[in-house]
Amino acid sequence: MNPQLRTEKLQQIVVTAEQMRNIEDRIFSAGIPVAALMEKVAGKISQRLQTLFSEQQINRYHKIGILVGPGHNGGDALVIARELYFLGYYVIIYSPFSKRKELTEAHANYAVSLGIPVCSNIEELQTCDVLIDGLFGFGLERFIIGEIATIINTINTWNKFVVSIDLPSGIHTDTGEILGTAIRADFTLCLGLWKQAFLQEVGLDYIGIAELIDFDIPLTDITAILGESPILNRITPSIAIHSLPLPRLANSHKYKNGHLLIIAGSQQYTGAAILAGLGARASGIGMLSIAVPNSIKPLLSSALPEALIIGCPETENGAILKLSEEIDLRRYQTIACGPGLTPEAHPILDRVLTANCPIILDADALNILAKLNPFFTLSSRQSPTIITPHFGEFKRLFPELIELEKNKITLAKQAAELTGAIIVLKGARTCIATPNQVWINPDSTPALGRGGSGDVLTGLIGGLLPPIILAEKPVESIVNTAVWWHSQAGILAARERTELGVDAYTLTQYLIPALIPFIKPRS
């Protein structure tokens, strides 16, 4: 396989601890010795560390502390210690375990024979400039207590530059849970395949910047364990861009690019309708209609002059009472409903649920839905339904699931299976679940944790869907694209304006600039 295609494939795949063990077992059964694989893995890590040290301006006069665990993660650390020692770095080893696996013990003995210093007190590492964490790798399930917990907590108070091998020691491979305590790493070099912990929100503050170290696992072994279509996947830039309706046909016109109806806003939440409309604008939607209460129609017309703003009768509190008679739901390829709607708009949701086109439900539409029977209501629809809850909304929608499960990835998958809907569970690692697959957006920014950001996403998803529907392509792929694109805009805005400077309106201004570097110009 082409190396670039292989890299792309590996960046997409995510495994559990059990799956990783099974893949490694196949490799070992095929004949590669454990010792040979350890040498290869540690060699690749050592190469990456040299580059990383150069980037961090850590030269060979700096002192490198190596934390060695009892298993093969500790063995990797010892081989790295040896390689850095040969490269001229000052290296010191610390291992607080009296018993180690045979291969790890052999590497420890060899390190001693080379004259690499071994310390017996954790305080001796306080003079180090860098720490390499090789205490525990993937598969750790027991809580860290006692002396080891004290050691880890001590290290975390030092504010050292820390690189963890595979996972920061103390993080559960699948859930990202902190098992009592965990190393706070600046960099984590994930080995072979991405583990679920990197896509959970629980341990993100401990992982730091994450990179994948490819040690040439045969794709046939991966496929043998995960199948041709793995259930859990990461969204990569190439996958996201591939689903965009670009380039457009030379004879394209507004009706070929689809028609979106957004039902949003109230006197109290005028901005939500505007933000959803601006998100849709960036998608390149051919025709955009926005239904709002009559009283705020002038504000929407001013903010979105290209859109058809439809004023609707409203309640005494300024919410939509009912849809205007000029709205025929059969005219639209997609309907987005919810931002700023207020819970008063219960009859609006009832009507939207009858539409024979894909619908997107967000914000107050979800709050109204939670008072119905979400499982029955959603599973009864024939056309695709996309719901975009944050975790609080998800809990209100599916309290029965929350009582039984804490893993967000599993929760989203269960909700998709029971409702038939596409679940966009928003967060620092937004999860998009269908009944058959789960996709995780691996890159985001805390800058998106502001009011209105979700309204922009709703509009963006809504605007991207109509041309996909007209082309009869899978809906879920463009939902992944919208989530990825939305986060890229936040990342770019935060880079230029800091994380404090990315309000929701500003975010809409970065949607197109964030996309440009990934788009090839028409030849």
Q: What is the pLDDT of residues 56-106, one digit of tens each?
A: 888 877 899 999 999 999 999 999 999 999 999 999 999 999 899 999 999
What's the confidence (pLDDT) of residue 513? 97
pTM exceeds cut of 0.75: yes
pLDDT band of 187, cuts 50, 70, 90 = very high
What's CA 61's distance to the chain center, in Å?
Answer: 38
Q: Which H or E run contains 436? A: none
Residue ranges of the annotated binding site for AMP are 426-430, 454
Q: Which H or E run contains 211? A: strand 209-213
State the average pLDDT over residues 499-510: 98
- pLDDT, tens digit, for every residue of 394-420? 999 999 998 878 789 999 999 999 999
How many whole angstroms separate alpha carbon 190 and alpha carbon 212? 5
Task: State the first-to-last Cα distance of the chain, in angstroms, to the nearest integer.
Answer: 27
Are residues 233 and 14 in contact, defined by beta-carbon separation less than 8 angstroms?
yes
| Domain spanning 3-227: CATH 3.30.70.1060 | no
State the average pLDDT over residues 379-398: 96
* Residue written as token pair 């995780």: 440
What's the confidence (pLDDT) of residue 508? 98
pLDDT band of 5, cuts 50, 70, 90 = confident
Residue ranges of the annotated binding site for (6S)-NADPHX are 72-76, 137-143, 166, 272, 340, 390, 455
What's the confidence (pLDDT) of residue 3? 81
Residue ranges of the annotated binding site are 72-76, 133, 137-143, 166, 169, 272, 340, 390, 426-430, 454-455
pLDDT band of 522, cuts 50, 70, 90 = low
- Where in the chain are all domains bearing CATH 3.40.1190.20? 237-518
* Residue written as token pair 């210093």: 117
Residue ranges of the annotated binding site for K(+) are 73, 133, 169
What's the confidence (pLDDT) of residue 427? 95
How many whole angstroms separate alpha carbon 264 and alpha carbon 319? 9
In the predicted structure, residue 169 carries a pLDDT above the cut 80? yes
**Residues paired with 422 in a beta bridge:** 386
Average pLDDT value for the chain: 95
Instruction: Give the contacts of 179 (CB within 8 A, at least 6 positions apart).
Output: 140, 141, 142, 143, 144, 170, 171, 172
How many whole angstroms separate alpha carbon 278 and alpha carbon 287? 13
**Which of 186, 63, 182 has its CA nearest to residue 124?**
63
10 Å Cβ neighbour count for 500?
Answer: 10
Which CATH architecture fits 237-518? 3-Layer(aba) Sandwich (3.40)
What's CA 315's distance to the chain center, in Å?
Answer: 39
Rg of the chain taking only CA atoms, in angstroms: 26
How many whole angstroms separate alpha carbon 79 and alpha carbon 513? 44
pLDDT band of 309, cuts 50, 70, 90 = very high
Secondary structure (3-state) at 155 = helix
- Where in the chain are all domains bearing CATH 3.40.50.10260? 3-227
What's the confidence (pLDDT) of residue 523? 60
How many whole angstroms separate alpha carbon 139 and alpha carbon 131? 22
